[in-house]
Amino acid sequence: MARGELVAWGAALGRGLSAPAIIALSGDLGAGKTTLAQAICAGYGVLDHVTSPTFALVHQYRGAPAMVFHLDLYRIESAADLANLGWDDLLDANAIVLVEWPEHARGALPPDAMRIALEHVPGAPELRRVSW
């Protein structure tokens, strides 16, 4: 998908969401995880500005029907790190949870999470392969 297609797809996905929902966004640096999270948030009705949570680890957004938590697990290395983040409470909240680098949660990601993978397309820097 081109960037515009990805954003339109993400917004449509966001419009159809209802809490609770957990969405895992996989892909390398620059694959478009945050871009897609922004589109999902916009579709869901988030009014806050959505940025990469790389340093804060968790961002919480308002303006939507339910709370939206946006996580970046890149720096998470253990189950203890995940617990310190409040992972269990986030999953138990009646919320939309968007997770970048979900691989770092290993087995802690619930089986009913929606999994979306973004990949660069060799030779086409403007495109991403999207699978879910």
Task: List interacting residues with Mg ion (CB under 5 A).
Answer: 33-34, 52, 100
* 27 is an interface residue for ligand ADP by CB under 6 A: yes
Shortest reach from residue 25's CB to Mg ion, in Å? 8
Single-letter amino acid, residue 85: L
User: Residue 82 or residue 98: which is nearer to Mg ion going by CB?
Assistant: 98
CB of 62 to ligand ADP, least distance (A): 22
Beta-bridge partners for 61: 68
Judged by beta carbon distances under 5 to 8 A according to partner kind, the member of ligand ADP, Mg ion, none in contact with residue 98 is none
Partners of 24 in beta bridges? 99, 115
- CA angle at residue 128 from 25 to 16, to 5 degrees? 50
Size of the site for ligand ADP (CB under 6 A): 17
User: Under rule CB under 6 A, which residues in 43-62 are in contact with ligand ADP?
Assistant: 52
What is the phi/psi pair of residue 120, to 5°? -65, 150
39 sits near ligand ADP (criterion: CB under 6 A): no
Characterize 60-95 residue by residue with b for buried, 16 or more Cβ atoms within 10 angstroms of its Cβ, and e for exposed: ebeebeebbbbbbbeebeeeeebeebebeebbebeb
Which residue is associated with the tokens 């617990």? 83
Q: Give the residue, chosen from 29, 49, 123, 131, that forms a contact with ligand ADP under the rule CB under 6 A.
A: 29
| Contact footprint for ligand ADP (CB under 6 A) | 1-3, 6, 27, 29-35, 52, 100, 126-128
